[in-house]
Chains A and B, each alone.
Chain A
Amino acid sequence: MVYLTRRAEFSASHYYHNPELTPEENRRLFGKCNNPHGHGHNYTLEVTVRGPVDPRSGFVMDLAELKEILNREVLDAMDHRFLNREVPEFRDRIPTTENLAIAIWQRLEPRLKFAELHRVRVYETPDLFVDHYGEP
C-alpha cells in the first residue's frame, strides 16, 4: 500500500452562524467569526489516496486525473466563493474547517475509482488544520 498526497490551494470567505441561536448567543459562541459580512482565508487542501502501485504504470493513481477531480469537485466550487451562500452543503451546515473537511471528503470519495481516499486535510491557517478519515 502506498499513500499519495496532492496539495491544492483555494481562497474563500465564510462566517459562523447558527440560525437556531439568538444573535447574542451567536456572537458569544463564534466571536469575530460571526460577522455576517464574512471574512476569508487562504485554505490549503491536502488529499491523500492510497492503493497498491500499478505494476504497468508505477502509479497509485494517475495524478492528472486526481488533479482534474480536485479542480472540478473542490476548486471550481469553492475557490473565490462565499462558502455560506455559494456552496450548497453550507446552506444548513456551518462552514467550519471541520465541516469543510467532511464536505470535501463527501465530494471526492464517490469520484475516486482507482484509489481509495484515505485522508482529507484542510489548513485554515498554517497554525490550524483538520483531518477527516471518513469516520462516522
Chain B
Amino acid sequence: MKAHLTRRYRFSASHRLHSAEMSEEENRRVYGKCNNPYGHGHNYALEVTVAGQVDPHTGMVCDLVELDEFVGREVLERFGHENLNYLEAFQRLVPTTENLCVEIYGVLARGFRAATVERVRLEETMMNSFEYCGESRELQIGT
C-alpha cells in the first residue's frame, strides 16, 4: 500500500526582493516594502511530503530520523538564520518564497534517497504559502 507522509519544519531567515534586471524605481514598484535595502525576515514553515510503499517490516514509508537528519542538514542548517541574498543559490535568483520553494524541492529531490520526495510546501507567513511538485508532476488534488 502506498502512503504519503508529510513532515513540518520551521526556520527563520531574512531576504530582500530586488532584481538586477529592473531599475531602482521598478524594483520599488514591483516589490514594495520587500525591496527595503536592509532586508526583512520571516518565520518560514516547511512541509516536506515523501511517498512510497509502506515497508511491511517497519510499517513506514521511510525512517523519520533519516528524513529529519537530511532536512536538518541540507535545508534548516543551510537556510536557517541566514540572509538568503548572500547564499550561492540566490546570487542570480531573487529569493522570493516561490524560488526558495523550488530550490528546497531540488535539494531534497536530488539528495534524499530513502523515499520519493513528492511535494514541498513553504509558508512565508500564515497568510501565504507556495507548493512545488517538480515539473513533471501536478498537485494531487482531484485525482
Among the 9-residue stretches B1-9, B15-23, B72-80, B103-111, the one with 4 or more Cβ atoms under 8 Å from chain A is B1-9
**Contact of A131 with B59 at beta-carbon distance under 8 Å, contacts A31-B65, A98-B54 already known:** no
Contact A130 B59 (CB under 8 A): no
- In Å, the complex CA distance between A128 and B7 comes to 5
Select B57's contact among A20, A95, A127, A129, beta carbons within 8 Å: A20
Q: B59's contact among A1, A94, A132, by CB below 8 Å, is which?
A: A94
Considering only residues 1-37 of chain A, those with a C-beta below 8 Å from chain B are 1, 16, 18, 20, 29-31
A135 interface contact, C-beta 8 A: yes
| B54–A102 CB distance below 8 A | yes
What are the residues of chain A within 8 A of B6 when measuring CB–CB? 128-131
**Is B60's CB within 8 Å of the partner chain A?**
yes
What 0/1 pattern do residues 103 to 136 of A give for CB contact below 8 A with B? 0000000000000000000000011111111011
B58 / chain A contacts, CB cutoff of 8 Å? 16, 18, 29-30, 94, 96
- Interface size of A in residues (CB-CB distance below 8 Å): 26
Size bin of chain B's contact surface: 20 to 34
In the bound complex, residues from chain B placing their C-beta under 8 Å from that of A132 are 1-4
Q: A132-B1, A135-B2 are in contact. Are A98 and B8 (CB under 8 A)?
A: no
Instruction: Report the separation of the CA atoms of residues A112 and B14 in the bound assembly, to the nearest whole angstrom.
Output: 48
List the interface of chain B (C-beta within 8 A of A): 1-9, 49, 54, 57-61, 63-65, 140, 142-143
Interface, chain A (partner B; CB < 8 A): 1, 16, 18, 20, 29-31, 93-99, 101-102, 126-133, 135-136
